[in-house]
Amino acid sequence: MAIRFAIFILILAVALLVLPRLFARRVPPFQAPAPPQEWWQRAVFYEVYPRSFADSNDNGIGDIPGITSRLDYLHSLGVDAVWITPCFPSPQVDFGYDVSDYENIDPMYGSLADMDLLIAEAKKRDMRIILDFVMNHTSDQHPWFLDSRSSRTAAKRDWYIWRDGKGPGQPPNNWTSVFGGSAWQYDPATGQYYYHYFYPQQPDLNWRNPAVKKAMFDSVRFWYERGISGFRLDAVDTLFEDPNLTDNPVLPGTNKFGDPKTEEKYNAKLPEVHDILRELRALSDQYHAVLIGETWTKTIEELKAYYGLHDNELQMPMDFLFTTVPKLSATDFRTQISGVNSAGWPVYVVSNHDIVRSYTRWGDGVHNDQIAKLIAAMYLTLRGTPILYYGEEIGMKNTDPTLKDEVKDPIGRRGWPLEKGRDGERTPMQWSDAPNAGFSSVAPWLPVPPTYKTYNVETELKDPASILNFYKGVLALRRTQPALRDGAWIAVNENDPNVLAYLRRSGDQTILVALNMSDAPQAIRLKLGPQGLSSARPTTLLTTLSTPPDTVSGKVHLEPFGVWIARLDK
């Protein structure tokens, strides 16, 4: 009996020792992806809306010296590249997106010397400056357009898109401006219409004219020679239009401006845009510069096209599909993340100067601060390059105008109340709890919300549990942990509707990110077997959980909107 029992124990021991090894051998060895090599793949980008970032001369409007004065802050946050939205001379109808001189700085923001200093000071900190290239249109006050509209035979007539109307008072076709109304503006001086996809004060350039391309590329070179490291390309989708001016198909219903809805079949995403992008890329490659695209796409396939068939177009087309996830949803984010991973090098954006702030969009009104941290833990730990929008790191919320008379953004005045405009996401950066949030000593161009008293850089820096310190923590991890910087992205528990969990894995390191996207506690069993990690030992790197798990083999408990980032060691 005793012998039988001993044999049984022996067999059991052998089985326990051998079986897991046999099983473990079935796990295919992990193939680490080649680490990304390009500077922009390893960089963290930060968008500055210059009117609203820092006001150095106390006139209520931000400026370039203001940005320079805050470089140390951005550096300590973990930012490597700063994209500044247009700061060129402009009548400011669209707050700088109506450029009247591509090779200068608007006096409101400073001078070329100020920009040179900003570039030099950034360089000292190993940071780069990215400018905004408004390619689709100029201001109607640009000397090119002033010439173009002066007569039908003007030298630059063909630099813009001029056409006869269909008849008296009838525009050439049914194309509408994305900012409301017909996209055609009648000009009585020469009796023709010009095309403007945006405001009438933003006439579209004719990119089919080689002289336009040359002049615009010269300006790109001008800035590269001055030391900038790339451009964010404005409105690339709409550079070209069908030369036959075919009417767009009409869809049911009306838009926020009361115009009939149409499908932009003949005035957006024409294939010709790719020829321009390839040429611009070749020019940019000479300067090791990066091209970031304002690429509004409806599908991953459309997004993929912007990388170019041979990765020879945009290095960083922004994935706006990510911002269209309507509410916090592990399932939807998982789908988006794996989609963009299959398209090319992902570029993550959660809000910008045209899109409602993420704090407001994904906040539930009760747990907004936890959700802001959860979002940071997500988009800053993914494989890809993140672009932060100023103020996201301190939990700035949208502050929309409450009265039509207060609205500054013209689309808000035209579309009120359905379209309130974009003032809400453009309010001044909240630097401290001093009057006007420390942005300016006079009333700023847009009001700051009363919550600035708590949500501001100075106050949050002192609070270890603040959103700002959480951002700093995640960005520090991204810098120091090879798996977060270079590793593959691998989804785990792919069917979980509440918890978004994934691994970042490089040759010798694995990091687990588990995000509870629900307002209820979740207890999950992580399915790490396929990765050969079911009995790995976790070491918590960053968490919002009161009691972070000490094992991954049992149930992992995540508090509502809880974040757990842990290194896994075999």
Q: Which residues bind ligand GLC (CB under 6 A)?
A: 94, 97, 134, 198, 234-235, 294, 353-354
Query: Nearest 5°: phi and psi at 274?
Result: -70, -30
Separation CA 518–CA 224 (nearest Å): 46
Q: Is the separation of the CB atoms in 389 and 350 below 8 Å?
A: yes
Return the ∠ at Cα 85 (arms to 83 and 88), rounded to 5°.
Answer: 120
Q: 85 or 315, CB closer to ligand GLC?
A: 85
Q: 132 or 496, CB closer to ligand GLC?
A: 132
Q: 400 or 496, CB closer to ligand GLC?
A: 400
Q: Is 294 a catalytic residue?
A: yes
Q: Is the separation of the CB atoms in 52 and 446 below 8 Å?
A: yes
The least CB distance from residue 49 to ligand GLC, in Å, is 9
Element (H, E) at 83: strand 81-84
The least CB distance from residue 132 to ligand GLC, in Å, is 8
Instruction: Assign 501 to helix, strand or coil.
Output: strand
Residue nearest to ligand GLC (CB): 97
Q: 297 or 456, CB closer to ligand GLC?
A: 297
Residue of 106, 234, 400, 460 with catalytic role: 234
The least CB distance from residue 134 to ligand GLC, in Å, is 6
Residue of 63, 98, 294, 419 with catalytic role: 294
The least CB distance from residue 516 to ligand GLC, in Å, is 33
The least CB distance from residue 293 to ligand GLC, in Å, is 11
Q: Is 58 a catalytic residue?
A: no
CA 520 to chain centre: 29
Q: 279 or 354, CB closer to ligand GLC?
A: 354
User: Minimal CA–CA distance to 235: which of 343, 89, 357, 132?
Assistant: 132
Q: Is the separation of the CB atoms in 51 and 90 below 8 Å?
A: no
Q: 131 or 134, CB closer to ligand GLC?
A: 134
Q: Is the separation of the CB atoms in 187 and 149 below 8 Å?
A: yes
Q: Is the separation of the CB atoms in 181 and 202 below 8 Å?
A: no
3-state secondary structure 151-182: CCCCCCHHHECEECCCECCECCCCCECCCCCE
* DSSP state for residue 352 in the 8-state scheme: B
The least CB distance from residue 259 to ligand GLC, in Å, is 17
Element (H, E) at 470: helix 467-480
358, exposed or middle or buried, with CB in 10 Å at 0-12, 13-18, 19+? buried
The least CB distance from residue 184 to ligand GLC, in Å, is 17
Instruction: Assign 410 to helix, strand or coil.
Output: helix
Separation CA 514–CA 541 (nearest Å): 12
Q: 294 or 496, CB closer to ligand GLC?
A: 294
Q: Is the separation of the CB atoms in 402 and 365 below 8 Å?
A: no
Query: Nearest 5°: phi and psi at 193?
Result: -100, 145
Separation CA 184–CA 187 (nearest Å): 10
Q: 184 or 198, CB closer to ligand GLC?
A: 198
Residues 6+ apart with CB under 8 A from 335: none
User: Minimal CA–CA distance to 287: which of 350, 247, 230?
Assistant: 230
Separation CA 405–CA 413 (nearest Å): 8
The least CB distance from residue 354 to ligand GLC, in Å, is 5
Active site residues: 234, 294
